[in-house]
Structure 1
């Protein structure tokens, strides 16, 4: 792994802002180098929810300068594989627990991944492992006796939408702080199956249908259900000035179906 003079370090945790953990980590980071620029992506990830954390990092990291280091501290001391991974992906560097987060961030697993064991005899052993990994990434030769090349890395297969000739069934993969439900249906997938046909987007089977995509939330009246492709290019279900996930009982994993039809066919 090549050395880097990175100054940006992002943090994603489930710690909240009320405890001392954040102060400990930031203090250690600045003790390594006072020239680091620490950016706190979020400390409000739902407890132990590394899938939520991975979504945040996956869709944020590319907006930072190449060479930035992205630290994820979610489920870091309770995962089955007690070690922190560090790796390079698309010109950025990542430090994550070995709990599957790596496969949710990287579309293709990096060829080389290093690991530093977590001391499971301590209540917060991952903290020291993160600091050691960061020191490696900031060092001139990028080598240390503590790091080993990792094998047997835990990974997940991302859930993909199911395409058909006249439909596509997707899943909610993220609920944001406004309770908008973001799905895994991309604009490209939608248009490829649509082929200029009309459509209906169904929330919870066929009980609630949307027949027109919005460009923004203000395209509908207050309290109305809507669907749009968000800034990530993903289909999003929302309610203007409302809370779609709560109002329509949506959660991560809920199905969203799109049906396509010609003008002469009623469905």
Structure 2
């Protein structure tokens, strides 16, 4: 189902999109991801064509609420999801952060108790165990985590900082700091 989240996979409009219409061996879809998407992915991976398992569609629904808003010195985004370790993945992409920030100092604010982070890390290990960390994940989205904050040591960022899907995340760039070229 097109729930409006597929657009996050693309930088622009995809060349083609298909709605899956393939017949399944069962009427019992306990796990739609497994029961629908895995067979479709296997078909494509084996060299099959998309028109065998679906029909071409011209529209992909865009969930506007998932797109961050940027103006001047501020990006207003939200938590997209929490991963299995309790790390928080936002809808703020690296390219937007760089475009608005232009190398200026910043503050990332989130959570009901206004937790702030003022630096970006490259890895979890760039901060001490138990400290908050922000970085851009391999998917290009801004993530907030707690280094070694997994179960047994208090929980991940979502639990420790009180964050969940759709919670606001704000990046304020200092208008007094000098942008880099």
* TM-score higher than 0.5: yes
CA distance in 2, matches of 1:262, 1:140: 53
Q: For residues 72-109 of structure 1, what are the alpha-carbon distances to aligned partners after superposition, in whole Å with 9 as ceiling and x for unaligned?
A: xxxxxxxxxxxxxxxxxxxxxxxxxxx11686165335
1:244 counterpart residue number = 157
Once superposed, what is the RMSD of the aligned Cα atoms?
A: 3.9
**Structure 2 alignment gaps of length 5 or more:** 150-155
CA distance in 2, matches of 1:149, 1:113: 5
Judged with a 3 Å threshold, the aligned counterparts in structure 2 of structure 1 residues 191 and 117 are, in CA distance, closer, same or farther, namely: same
* Structure possessing the higher radius of gyration over alpha carbons: 1
What is the number of equivalent residue pairs in this alignment?
A: 163
Higher relative contact order (Cα pairs below 8 Å, separated by 6+ residues): 2
Say which SS state the counterpart of residue 218 (structure 1) adopts: helix
Say which SS state the counterpart of residue 96 (structure 2) adopts: helix
Say which SS state the counterpart of residue 223 (structure 1) adopts: coil
Shift of 1:116: 2.8
Tell me, yes or no, if structure 1 residue 165 matches structure 2 residue 72.
yes
Tell me, yes or no, if structure 1 residue 208 matches structure 2 residue 110.
no
**Structure 1 alignment gaps of length 5 or more:** 1-98
Say which SS state the counterpart of residue 212 (structure 1) adopts: coil
CA distance in 1, matches of 2:82, 2:73: 27
Tell me, yes or no, if structure 1 residue 221 matches structure 2 residue 128.
yes
CA distance in 2, matches of 1:187, 1:207: 22
Judged with a 3 Å threshold, the aligned counterparts in structure 2 of structure 1 residues 172 and 114 are, in CA distance, closer, same or farther, namely: closer
CA distance in 1, matches of 2:80, 2:51: 37
Say which SS state the counterpart of residue 116 (structure 1) adopts: coil
1:189 counterpart residue number = 96
Judged with a 3 Å threshold, the aligned counterparts in structure 2 of structure 1 residues 262 and 177 are, in CA distance, closer, same or farther, namely: same
Q: For residues 54-81 of structure 1, what are the alpha-carbon distances to aligned partners after superposition, in whole Å with 9 as ceiling and x for unaligned?
A: xxxxxxxxxxxxxxxxxxxxxxxxxxxx
Name the TM-score, length of structure 1 as normaliser: 0.49
Say which SS state the counterpart of residue 139 (structure 2) adopts: coil
